[in-house]
Amino acid sequence: MRPQWVIGNWKMNGGLAANQALLAGVLDAARLVGSVRIGVSAPFPYLLQCQQMLGESSVVWGAQDISAEIGGAFTGEVSGAMLSDFDCGIVIVGHSERRIYHGESEGRVAEKALRAVENGMRPVFCIGETQAQHDAGETEAVLARQLSPLFVLLNDTRLAMVIVAYEPVWAIGTGKTPTPEGAQAVHRFIRTQLAAHGLADTLPVIYGGSVKPDNAARFFAQPDIDGGLIGGASLDAAEFLAIVKAAQ
């Protein structure tokens, strides 16, 4: 049995005071539901706050991006070594909002995953098709293309650190979702891609895209879905707790 993960992606939301209340809720969720692995991906300025508030708990925290560079003259970038100074255990890479708004290529995203692993973090490697690709029946081809640079850059030991997040772009923040069975079929396909690396049965593959308290349990009940990456609903402590409970 693979463990279930519930990871909150706060995106560009929050503030010191609001985070304090939300992190207290995340701590409650971890205390109440010990069997679920809980993660928080916060904006960079709040990593210290996460480290201070979550440090004694089972909750893992991290950032929403990492530089593909190691260090030096890259204004605005944040390196893997900097993230590990704040004991980050996870980092989101290749979120569709980064791919779309910041032009991150498939190769670049895989380099970021490598930097994460080199610095002891688990990359939450986001893949997913757009609505047009979905409608054109291209989902599997898109996902295979997004995964392939990862298989080139990371050897199998490093690959074992990855958490794959299947996030159909058309489901993010829209309230639209695939059916749980539809998502399950895609997760099964992702596992076939992992099979050549001996990781089909062990790597966490989580679902993201409009997961809410009222639909979470149906996604998490699917055999190849190992939990969720949660955007909007991770900003509300009660909703996040309900989703964590659905994963137990």
Annotated binding residues for substrate, written as ranges, equal 9-11, 173, 210, 231-232
104 is catalytic: no
Tell which one of 42, 110, 172, 243 touches ligand PEP (CB under 6 A): 172
Please give the backbone phi and psi of residue 68, each rounded to the nearest 5 degrees, phi first. -80, -10
For ligand PEP, which is the closer residue by CB, 197 or 205? 205
The span of 67-75, 78-86, 113-121, 205-213 binding ligand PEP (CB under 6 A) equals 205-213
Q: How far is the CB of 51 from ligand PEP (least distance, A)?
A: 22
For ligand PEP, which is the closer residue by CB, 118 or 236? 236
The span of 113-121, 150-158, 196-204, 224-232 binding ligand PEP (CB under 6 A) equals 224-232
With contact defined as beta carbons under 8 Å apart, do 191 and 140 qualify?
no
Cα distances from 108 to residues 48, 113, 122, in angstroms, run 27, 9, 17
With contact defined as beta carbons under 8 Å apart, do 237 and 21 qualify?
yes
User: With the CA atoms of 38, 200, 153 and 116 taken in that order, what torsion angle do they form, in degrees rounded to the nearest 10?
Assistant: 10
Does 225 bind ligand PEP (CB under 6 A)? Our answer is no
Tell which one of 4, 5, 8, 9 touches ligand PEP (CB under 6 A): 9
Does 8 bind ligand PEP (CB under 6 A)? Our answer is no
Tell which one of 79, 119, 193, 210 touches ligand PEP (CB under 6 A): 210
The SS3 call for residue 235 is helix
Does 149 bind ligand PEP (CB under 6 A)? Our answer is no
The span of 74-82, 138-146, 190-198, 207-215 binding ligand PEP (CB under 6 A) equals 207-215
With contact defined as beta carbons under 8 Å apart, do 206 and 184 qualify?
no
**DSSP tag of 146:** H
Does 14 bind ligand PEP (CB under 6 A)? Our answer is no
Alpha helices in the chain (DSSP H): 16-32, 47-54, 80-85, 96-101, 106-118, 131-135, 139-153, 156-159, 180-195, 216-220, 237-246
User: With the CA atoms of 119, 193, 10 and 2 taken in that order, what torsion angle do they form, in degrees rounded to the nearest 10?
Assistant: -80
**Which residues, 6+ apart, have CB-to-CB distance to 231 below 8 Å?**
9, 11, 172, 173, 208
Q: Which of 97, 111, 129, 167 is catalytic?
A: 167
Residue type, 156: D
95 is catalytic: yes
For ligand PEP, which is the closer residue by CB, 147 or 206? 206
Does 230 bind ligand PEP (CB under 6 A)? Our answer is yes
Which residues does the annotation place in the binding site?
9-11, 173, 210, 231-232
Q: Which residues bind ligand PEP (CB under 6 A)?
A: 9, 167, 172-173, 208-211, 229-233
Catalytic residue positions?
Answer: 95, 167
